[in-house]
Amino acid sequence: MLKIFNTLTRKKEIFKSIVKNKIGIYVCGVTVYDLCHLGHARTFLIFDMIIRYLKNCNYKVNYIRNITDIDDKIILKSIQKKESFVNFSNRMILEMNNDFSKINLLKPNFEPKVSNCINNIIKIISNLIKKKYAYIGKNGDVFFSIKKYSNYGKISNRKINNFKKKNIFHNSLSIKKDFEDFVLWKLSKKDNEPHWSSPWGEGRPGWHIECSAITEKYLGCEFDIHGGGIDLLFPHHENEIAQSSCFNDSFSVSYWIHTGLLVINNLKMSKSLNNSLILKDVLKKFDGDVIRFFFLSTHYRSPLEYFEEKIKKSKKSFEKIRKAVLFLNSGFFSSFNNFCNSSIIEEDNFHSAMKNDFNTPKAISVLFSIVKKINFFKKNKNLKNVFLYSFKLKELVKILGFFTDQNVFLKDKDINEETLKKRNKKKSIALFIKLRNKARKQKKWDLADSFKEKLLEFGVVIEDKSYKDLK
């Protein structure tokens, strides 16, 4: 049975979906004010792995990931670039999608922009004001009153009276009731700022409210999984729980999943800290599967320190798996589905690791044990087990999202598509001849005939000899 560590309860829990065999999952997406960095890649690649595994467990997954396309930073960048915020954000979204395709990320079922959900945001804010959970500040902005929500701090384990008061408190006190209150709607302060009409004046939404509006629209008040980086735990997810719970008493997320930070020089990788590695630049040195392997080699909840030597070592390790998969991608394995239906203990070990809170380091160690056995069986010419273990390896690596792009086998400079086809054909013919002769020696005539038919597909005609001629 699948167990997931739930940030809300701080323990592993047996996973059970609200609706049988169906899962609703929401992951906080990118604020598109710049190119994506490697920290973004880790978060979304981890959830890509999780979603792929849930699908492998025969769940029908409804995956929602938002795009924050309106934000103070986006406005500032668009002004600096002398573009409209729409053109600028759309350009960044195209860059994001291009980068994500190179690391083999599945596309969400829905990926709504915040700017397309303004009416839903206004609906929730209006409801919160009506219920006295929100109020209009002295500057016209709308704020959520944290003290009105008694369960504030339930996921971050922070108490209101323990919040550190900042020096700016006396300045903010003039516009809102309490320092901890956060903005739901900002009035436009300048004529060139993007804005929308609302009951409180021309303005734009605050950051936290957008996720509450989008989950309510696409998943309803109850859904299975909410995810994001651990840096979003507070205040973003705490605020989201508060406003969603006050808007709808039935709001509930069964499992909160948070990924560990990607760190560099002991600091969180972040654009604001000016220490981020642009994903596009890293992809010039390492392909998407190597980056995926680097991330999945560490448990998703653990912090991961990046330095280039470490990912270079990951590349060398991953080449062992790549070579094994390259061998079995020769084109003849599709004919052996029935032949390879047998189970192996490594297959069970792989799924045991994945069902224990997606323990990918353990699962990857299982892949290497399979590679080791493949090499042993090849050396000892045990073709049956070579087929069996190679076939299982190919199945398991795809569950983790590796080799989803068939062109991955052409990335070696010494391999092009034409030579690969020739190489595969030559190997296939030689192998089928060997297997057919072995089957005839064992008097397995039906199996021998099936190999003969397969050779015909390659344009090879076999003239049968008597059994004694094979001795």
pLDDT at 164 over 70: no
pLDDT at 439 over 90: no
Where is mean pLDDT largest: 62-71, 404-413, 445-454?
62-71
Number of H helices, E strands in the chain: 15, 13
Residue 301 lies in a domain: no
Residue 355 lies in a domain: yes
pLDDT at 206 over 90: yes
Question: In this structure, is the dihedral angle defined by the CA atoms of residues 163, 168, 170 and 175, taken in order, positive or negative?
Answer: negative
Per-residue pLDDT reduced to its tens digit, 345-391: 999 999 999 999 999 999 999 999 999 999 998 888 787 788 788 88
Task: Give residue 463's pLDDT.
Answer: 66
Q: Kindly report whether the peptide bond that precedes residue 235 is cis, defined as omega within 30 degrees of 0.
A: yes
* Percent of the residues in the chain that have a pLDDT greater than 70, as a whole number: 85
Domains held by the chain: number = 3
* DSSP state, residue 117: -
Quick one: 190 and 159 in the same domain?
Answer: yes
Residue 186 lies in a domain: yes
Residue 297 lies in a domain: no
| Exposed / middle / buried, residue 165 (Cβ in 10 Å: 0-12, 13-18, 19+) | exposed
pLDDT at 46 over 70: yes
More confident residue, 392 or 446: 392
Q: For 140-153, what is the mean pLDDT?
A: 95
Following DSSP, what letter does each residue of 400-456 receive, concatenated? TTTT-SGGGGG-STT--HHHHHHHHHHHHHHHHHHHHHHHHHTT-HHHHHHHHHHHH
Residue 1's CB is within 10 A of a number of other CB atoms, namely 7
Quick one: 333 and 192 in the same domain?
Answer: no
Task: Give residue 174's pLDDT.
Answer: 67
Q: For 459-463, what is the mean pLDDT?
A: 69
Task: Give residue 161's pLDDT.
Answer: 63
Quick one: 115 and 211 in the same domain?
Answer: yes
- C-beta separation of 41 from 35 below 8 A: no
The secondary element (H helix, E strand) that includes residue 268 is strand 267-268
Residue 296 lies in a domain: no
Quick one: 248 and 354 in the same domain?
Answer: no
- C-beta separation of 121 from 68 below 8 A: no
Long-range contacts of 12-16, Cβ-Cβ distance < 8 Å, separation of 24 or more: 12/356, 12/357, 13/255, 15/255, 16/254
Q: How far is CA 290 from its chain centroid?
A: 15
Domain boundary among 365, 383, 410: 410
* Rounded Cα distance, 412 and 419, in Å: 12
Range of the domain at 422: 417-470
Per-residue pLDDT reduced to its tens digit, 51-98: 999 999 999 999 999 999 999 999 999 999 999 999 999 999 999 999
pLDDT at 168 over 60: no
Quick one: 319 and 243 in the same domain?
Answer: no
pLDDT at 414 over 50: no
For residue 28, what are the contacts with CB-CB under 8 A and spacing of at least 6? 65, 66, 211, 227, 228, 229, 232, 236
Q: For 95-115, what is the mean pLDDT?
A: 96
Domain boundary among 238, 264, 281: 281
Quick one: 187 and 49 in the same domain?
Answer: yes
Quick one: 444 and 463 in the same domain?
Answer: yes
Task: Give residue 385's pLDDT.
Answer: 84
Task: Give residue 443's pLDDT.
Answer: 76
Structure tokens at 144: 């959520």
Residue 292 lies in a domain: no
Domain boundary among 245, 264, 281: 281
Task: Give residue 459's pLDDT.
Answer: 67
Quick one: 339 and 462 in the same domain?
Answer: no
Cross-strand pairs, 24: 62
Quick one: 270 and 326 in the same domain?
Answer: no
Residue 267 lies in a domain: yes
* Percent of the residues in the chain that have a pLDDT greater than 90, as a whole number: 66
Q: How far is CA 471 from its chain centroid?
A: 56
- C-beta separation of 114 from 210 below 8 A: yes
- How many CA atoms within 13 Å lie on the side-chain side of 350? 22
Comparing CA positions, the residue from 216, 168, 42 lying closest to residue 176 is: 168
Per-residue pLDDT reduced to its tens digit, 320-343: 998 887 765 544 444 455 556 678
Per-residue confidence at 14, pLDDT binned at 50, 70, 90? Answer: very high
- What's this model's pTM, rounded to 2 decimal places? 0.84
Amino acid identity, residue 205? Answer: P
Per-residue confidence at 262, pLDDT binned at 50, 70, 90? Answer: very high
Task: Give residue 420's pLDDT.
Answer: 44
